[in-house]
Structure 1
Amino acid sequence: MADEVTLLNTRPSLFGIRVKIALAEKGIEYVHKEENLQDKSPLLLKMNPIHKKIPVLIHNGKPICESLVIFQYIDEVYDSGRRAVMTTDGKELIESLKLLEGELGEKPYFGGEKFGYLDLSFIPFYTLFNSFDTYGNVAAKKPR
């Protein structure tokens, strides 16, 4: 079954723009359904019955609410590391790691001397490197 992705949103929503950027960055095709916040659709009320707010991402019938939660969901479900492990040579993963390594340089953290949000966001993925090595056939090509 192909992914079915729908975004319930209203065009002036800054929170919806976050989601649209994340979808575009991951190259995810989706259906945009414009919501009238003065007259909310039955679909919006069904998919977000507690807060009744946009944006709502619907992925194969499952609603995900709140822009930052949606962003995290998109990143986990459409994660480039998972795609890289599925390839035979891991080129995409290696290129991503090289880019990150270049940005980090000799600094202890991405923000320089202080641990920050970006550093925190990468910690869970660090635990996956052994899996990438084992199942992704990338051990000999990884940076550092």
Structure 2
Amino acid sequence: MTSITKNLQDEQATIELGIELSLWVSAPLVIYLTGDLGAGKTTLSRGLIQSLGHEGNVKSPTYTLVEPYELKDMEVFHFDLYRLLDPEELEYMGIRDYFTEKSISIVEWPDRGHGLLPAADLAIHLKYQGEQRQVEITGLTPSGQFIVNKLK
């Protein structure tokens, strides 16, 4: 496992990290985003998704569980499992159909879908550091490790 830690001074720095990630990600890829409420998971996702080519708003999928984005060469699925009461709910929504060779899946609160989600290639943990945020990015597969090495 390869990992790096970065300090993010503000919301713009979090968006810029998403932009930087967009230079190196490619399908298929599964990204787990963890951290406390308000730590910047959706902000990071917005920077990444818009940098990959989505021109509209990127809203938090807190109530819908997933927001799909059809891009030129890939699909991006942004999951927020915070309100998930039982992982079995994912079965009813056809969770396995989202993880394809053409998709990048960003999963906030992945622990709530334990046992039904594929393993992550990249684990990103955001935490408060005073008024700032600190992010730890860990590559869990060869493709995840490639991304971490490019971010160093």
TM more than 0.5: no
TM-score, scaled to structure 2: 0.22
Report the structure number with the largest CA radius of gyration: 1
TM-score, scaled to structure 1: 0.23
Structure number with the bigger relative contact order (C-alpha 8 A, sep ≥ 6) is 2
**Which structure's residues are more often helix, by fraction?**
1
